Structure 1
Amino acid sequence: MLKAEIRKIYMQKRKALSSDEVLLLSEKIFKNFVTYFKPVPHQKVHIFIPIERLKEIDTQIWIDYFLSRNIRVFVPKILGITLISVEIFKDTAFEINQWGISEPVSDEDPGISDFDYVITPLLYCDQNGNRVGYGKGFYDVFFQKISSNTKKIGVNYFTPDEMINDLREDDIAVDYLVTPTKVLSFLRG
């Protein structure tokens, strides 16, 4: 199936979710992540801030959990056409950007590339870890800049059904997908 078709189908599926369903499914995804990966103090996690109007997975419970356990938290900020990673703390100030996304006020990118985990937003992920996002390619470029040891983890309400047929050479797959019911690994060997 083509990315454009998948994007349309999964945007509709997401729109059909109620606020309560988003919260419940987000909590299940979070619990599956913690149970499977068992994050520990001093690890570094890059995690997205959800776009609520698009019913993205609620990551606030993740952020609160990480910060309360001395796990370093970094979130994306878009500067021009570049995604940077800004470290946040309990008292970090946020603002809404031009796309209606909450971002830290700070533009300071500490240049971290050895994250333990990058929790990645997506609309869909196939059985090989290939992603469909919103089509801007921010995470493909970001993935090229981080350590090859970083675990790239997609999170989604839905499990893979369709294969993506129009992959580009510069598309970078995730290593894992965490859903409300399971964790899938796409690592080889």
Structure 2
Amino acid sequence: MSRDEAFLLSQNIFDHFVAYFKPEKGQKIHVFVPIEKFNEVNTQVLIQYFLEQNIRVFVPKVVSDQLINIEIFEDTVFATNSWGISEPVSNEDSGENYFQYVITPLLYCDPKGNRVGYGKGFYDALFQSLSSDTKKIGVNYFDPEEYIDDVWENDIPLDYLITPTKVLSFFNGLE
């Protein structure tokens, strides 16, 4: 997929997120920063929108094998790490673990909300620390089709998946 295609599909995902969840001023949203070389869903559009709407934005950063949550602002300085991820230069953990939404990267999501990520378990650990009413949202270019057979006992499924064409809920199975 070309970068232009990825951008257009990411824009559709952004439109679905805003229309379905209607984020509001003052809410706290944790959102990943995409790895450009993997052509991940471009969340920069979401991040910019959230900042413009005075929605508090938190991004992940791995420090000493721990995922911390850093609040970002318009003037936050970013640098690219060894994995090719743009992340805040600061290592100051916000200490925040209550978010309305956590938007997570994934390689694939099945019809039950089980996701395949990059195998490090950072998001499963984050999900375990969250309030039960935090909505765990995956974003992907593709709809779920096949089930994941080897779900690990500590895997935590998503609540929603947003694709360029729809928003899927996993609360009562695939809608």
Q: Same fold (TM over 0.5)?
A: yes
- Structure 1: gaps spanning 5 or more residues: 1-16
Q: Which of 70, 75, 78 is matched with 1:94 structurally?
A: 78
Q: Output the TM-score relative to the length of structure 2.
A: 0.97
Q: Which of 75, 78, 88 is matched with 2:59 structurally?
A: 75
Structure 1 residue runs of 4 or more that deviate by more than 3 Å after TM superposition: none
CA distance in 2, matches of 1:93, 1:73: 14
Counterpart in the other structure of 1:11: none
Q: Which of 127, 142, 161 is matched with 1:143 structurally?
A: 127
Counterpart in the other structure of 2:13: 29
For residue 78 of structure 1, give the secondary structure of its aligned residue in structure 2: strand
CA distance in 2, matches of 1:25, 1:108: 33
For residue 75 of structure 1, give the secondary structure of its aligned residue in structure 2: strand
Tell me the C-alpha RMSD between the 2 structures: 1.0
Q: CA deviation at 1:61?
A: 0.7
Q: CA deviation at 1:85?
A: 0.6
Q: Output the TM-score relative to the length of structure 1.
A: 0.90
* Residue-by-residue CA offset, 1:131-153 (whole Å, 9 max, x unaligned): 00111111001111111110000
CA distance in 1, matches of 2:116, 2:43: 19
Whether 1:187 and 2:147 are equivalent positions in the alignment is: no
Counterpart in the other structure of 1:128: 112
Within-5 A mapping of 1:1-189: 17-188=1-172
CA distance in 2, matches of 1:19, 1:102: 17
Q: CA deviation at 1:97?
A: 1.2
For residue 168 of structure 2, give the secondary structure of its aligned residue in structure 1: strand
More helix by share: 1
For residue 16 of structure 2, give the secondary structure of its aligned residue in structure 1: helix
Q: Which amino acid aligns with 1:140?
A: D
Query: For this pair of structures, how many residues does the alignment match?
Result: 173
Q: Which amino acid aligns with 1:28?
A: N
CA distance in 2, matches of 1:37, 1:169: 29
Q: CA deviation at 1:99?
A: 1.0
Q: CA deviation at 1:188?
A: 3.4
Q: CA deviation at 1:81?
A: 1.3
